[in-house]
Structure 1
Amino acid sequence: MTEYTAFEGFRVISYPSFREGDQMPRCRTIWQPDLLEEDGSGLSYGGEGLVPSCGAGAFPAAYMILLADGSAERALTDLSPDTALQFVYDADVDQIVVLRG
């Protein structure tokens, strides 16, 4: 598992695909740790977007979120309402690139 530098409170981890084979594209999950809460049965996420994404063939995993006004994720950032973010893996530099729209 690989963890990348945070962006506006979002953390990214990368881990092997659930499919067999060392050459399979990796998976990634992006979340804001401040939105994780312990409850009686384990952990819950108080935001909208805790969704894993796995690569497919030549395409790396990508994750997109719209930070709507009033969303838990946007409240933890300095970004304006309705900012769209896309997190994409750049294999050449082994980094997560964040595109903003």
Structure 2
Amino acid sequence: MNHLNDIESRDAKRDIAAELLMAVDEMLANTPTKTHTITQTDVALARQKSKLSQRQFADILGVSVRTLESWEQGVRKPSKAAQSLIKLFIKNPSFVREALA
């Protein structure tokens, strides 16, 4: 749970309004935008929000527990498909759990 607290304290320091304004400015200026790459903390956050064990989360994503562990530790990076599911788990874990059950 300490890891989740670290993530929450990091996000509490963010200025979401400023980030949104910067994104709008970038869109209007027609400049390349930043892309969000899933990090190991995002993988762990998604699993914690979904309240699933590593085994359960890995099964839903269709990967081995060892692969999931390597993502959470930052040793390997999830595929684009797995990144999409992880993003959905972060936004609405209960929806994803119900949809994939």
Scaled to the shorter chain, the TM-score interval is under 0.3
**Larger relative contact order, structure 1 or 2 (CA cutoff 8 Å, min sep 6):** 2
Bigger radius of gyration: 2
Query: 1 or 2, which has the higher strand percentage?
Result: 1
Query: 1 or 2, which has the higher helix percentage?
Result: 2
